Amino acid sequence: MSALIPADSMSKATRVLYMTHLAIGDFVYQGPHLQALQQKYPHIQLDIWIDDLRDRSKSWHTGRNTTLCQWLEDQPFIHDIYPIAESAPQRQELIRRAQQRNYDVIFFIATQRSEVYAKVARAISNTAKIVGTQSKALQNPIQKWWRFNRIDGYLKEKSIPAQHRQHIRDLQGFRFQTLVGAKSDKGTLQISPPDLWRQKSQELLNRHAPDPATQWLLLNPMSTSVKRDLSWSKTLGLIEALYQSNPDRGFVLNLPPDQFATIEERLGSEPLGPVITILPFTAAEHFYQLPAMLSCVDYVVTVETAIMHLAASVGTRQTALVRDSAKHWRPLGDSQVVECQGTVDSVDITELAQRISEHIV
């Protein structure tokens, strides 16, 4: 099957812009294909636009901007980065900046607001070859038709064959192959945290370990959506159950930077007892803090969020709580997946603790 951007056009291109509403988990599966594209066409400058084109910014935008840009800046196959816009004027400034680059090719993958991506891509360049994915319209279907009619081609998300939807790894590969004819055999981006951050993480664990033989479990109960969160009461219940089954366990409680102080204070008032070692943690300094900590603990328990993909990328065993509607996002590697009906918080804590303990052994 020929790509929507022909190889001849890619060979002649100098500057290429990739646009998407990127999250950390997305980049685990998109990164290898971007790298494959740059390797196939080593003469191009590949830039990336991660602004999600929302009308209103989200509370987690600032944190995602910082961590994502830190990770992207460390990737040799990415030349320039357009961050998440904090306001409409800043977005217009990003568009003006992109217009000055005179892109030859622009392509986007958008499962939300795809018609807006088509609009902004064409606003960036009247001459570039532009292709992208077309998702369900959020606005007027006539506007959607008009915006996609002004680009050079698109892949309808609903037309992707079922065999390419079984896992996000396969889905991303199909998208990149269809749009620009570049697909990696790796499927996922492997992460090697720098020694500096690994050393800092290990030192932090050593300072809080009651015993050198402590088995450290990292628990991540929060995401950016309540549907994927584990409630506070169930988080505490899981910690107690896992401790009772093995008193040699210590717990790293991973928290979002913007909620760290509040939950740390709340944790201090909970009647868990001083014998349970709980270390509140957040990656506030640098992106690599998180994968470094994930690589230093013995086991990870996480809700359906980027951490399950990062844990797999650094090779740490885990149990991931994934909604049945999102099982194509299940992590790879040595990962036990617990499917939850409707919401993650529907999970039975007693059964979950037993499954975790059996998988750790």
The pLDDT assigned to 61 comes to 61
Q: Which residues pair with 48 in a beta bridge?
A: 18, 81
Strands (E), 62-212: 81-82, 105-109, 129-134, 153-156
Confidence of residue 263 (pLDDT cuts 50, 70, 90): confident
The pLDDT assigned to 266 comes to 83
Determine the Cα–Cα distance for residues 7 and 9; give it in Å rounded to an integer: 5
Of the two residues 59 and 358, the one the predictor is more confident about is 358
pTM to 2 decimal places = 0.91
Determine the Cα–Cα distance for residues 34 and 179; give it in Å rounded to an integer: 12
Of the two residues 224 and 33, the one the predictor is more confident about is 33
Phi/psi-derived region of residue 153, left when phi > 0, alpha when psi is between -120 and 50, beta in every other case:
left
Q: What is the arithmetic mean of pLDDT over 301-328?
A: 96
Strands 129-134 and 277-281: unpaired
The pLDDT assigned to 95 comes to 98
**Length, in residues, of the chain:** 361
Instruction: Assess contact for 107 and 155: CB atoms under 8 A.
Output: no
Q: What is the arithmetic mean of pLDDT over 138-162?
A: 87
Q: What is the arithmetic mean of pLDDT over 337-360?
A: 95
Handedness of CA 325, 329, 332, 335 (dihedral sign): negative
Mean pLDDT of the chain: 92
67-71, 221-225, 296-300: which is most confident: 296-300
8-22, 140-154, 246-260: which is most confident: 8-22
The pLDDT assigned to 138 comes to 60
The pLDDT assigned to 119 comes to 95
pLDDT tops 90 at residue 62:
no
Confidence of residue 323 (pLDDT cuts 50, 70, 90): very high
Spatial strand order of the sheet with 45-49 comes to 81-82, 45-49, 15-20, 105-109, 129-134, 153-156
pLDDT tops 80 at residue 196:
yes
The pLDDT assigned to 58 comes to 65
| Helix or strand run (H / E) with residue 337 | strand 335-340
Taking the CB of residue 35, how many other CB atoms lie within 10 A of it?
A: 19
Q: Give the HSE-up count for residue 161: Cα atoms under 13 Å, Cβ half-sphere.
A: 6
Tell me the C-alpha to C-alpha distance, in Å, between residue 360 and each of 25, 243, 312, 320. 24, 13, 15, 13
Strands 277-281 and 249-254: parallel
The pLDDT assigned to 142 comes to 77
Nearest Cα to Cα of residue 325 among 224, 228, 225: 228
Q: Which domains does the chain have, with CATH numbers?
A: 7-180 (3.40.50.2000), 195-360 (3.40.50.2000)
Determine the Cα–Cα distance for residues 39 and 65; give it in Å rounded to an integer: 26
Determine the Cα–Cα distance for residues 44 and 16; give it in Å rounded to an integer: 7
Share of the chain above pLDDT 70, in %: 96
Strands 318-323 and 335-340: parallel
Nearest Cα to Cα of residue 241 among 208, 261, 219, 209: 219
Nearest Cα to Cα of residue 154 among 185, 179, 123: 179
Nearest Cα to Cα of residue 224 among 9, 26, 357, 86: 26
The pLDDT assigned to 256 comes to 87
Residue 302, C-beta contacts closer than 8 angstroms, at least 6 positions apart: 218, 219, 220, 254, 308, 311, 318, 319, 320, 321
The pLDDT assigned to 220 comes to 97
Determine the Cα–Cα distance for residues 60 and 55; give it in Å rounded to an integer: 15
Nearest Cα to Cα of residue 215 among 236, 235, 255, 243: 243
Please write the tens of the pLDDT for every residue from 115-130: 999 999 999 999 999 9
Nearest Cα to Cα of residue 115 among 94, 91, 88, 133: 133
